[in-house]
């Protein structure tokens, strides 16, 4: 996934950056799932989408959710954590399939499975949590999330909170 140049990104709200991240992952998965993308280049895009979604989940759970929880959004965050826990094993499957060089049909099925989860998950984040981020997070927290989304690396042994507990 190509990241936005710094100058343009600085004018973009955190909400918009998070939603753009959703669209980039969704677009890569949809292109593969519907057959409009295939082959080596499409698989590289799929790998970037898998890694990007993991980075996105990490940024939410480690950087975004704690201040939102402090602001009283505990219920919605618990739902998001549970849904991340459903996505993580599918991401593991996708990563395994990409490493093993399985057929396009197998990859498409995994992409469709992940897309179904995201189609239920993303609108909730975008309608309930994301409208609050630019108001509830301080500048340092906003910068930390944005920087991580752009260039952060997940610790090798990290897993989403729902599966870690």
Residue-level pLDDT at 21: 94
- 160, 85 in Cβ contact below 8 A? yes
pLDDT-derived band at 9 (thresholds 50, 70, 90) equals very low
Closest CA to 48 of 34, 35, 32, 61: 32
Q: Angle formed by the axes of helices 39-58 and 139-151, to 10°? A: 160
- Can you tell me which residue has the tokens 């409009």? 36
Residue-level pLDDT at 19: 97
| Domains contained in the chain, CATH given | 8-154 (1.20.120.520)
Residue-level pLDDT at 7: 35
Start-to-end CA span in the chain (Å): 30
> Tokens for 151?
């260039």
- Which range in 36-40, 78-82, 135-139 is most confidently predicted, on average pLDDT? 78-82
pLDDT-derived band at 82 (thresholds 50, 70, 90) equals very high
Asked whether residue 74 carries a pLDDT value surpassing 90, the answer given is yes
């Amino acid at each position: 996934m190509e990241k936005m140049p710094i100058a343009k990104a600085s004018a973009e709200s955190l909400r918009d950056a998070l939603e753009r991240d959703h669209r980039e992952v969704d677009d890569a998965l949809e292109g593969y799932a519907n057959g409009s993308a295939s082959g080596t280049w499409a698989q590289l895009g799929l790998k970037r989408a898998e890694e990007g979604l993991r980075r996105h989940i990490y940024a939410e759970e480690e950087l975004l959710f704690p201040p939102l929880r402090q602001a009283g959004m505990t219920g919605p965050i618990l739902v998001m954590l549970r849904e991340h826990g459903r996505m993580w094993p599918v991401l593991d499957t996708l990563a395994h399939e990409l490493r093993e060089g399985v057929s396009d049909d197998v990859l498409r099925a995994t992409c469709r499975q992940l897309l179904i989860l995201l189609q239920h998950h993303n609108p909730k984040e975008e309608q309930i949590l994301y409208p609050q981020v630019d108001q509830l997070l301080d500048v340092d927290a906003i910068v930390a999330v944005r920087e991580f989304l752009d260039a952060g690396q997940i610790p090798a042994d990290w897993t989403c909170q729902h599966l870690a507990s």
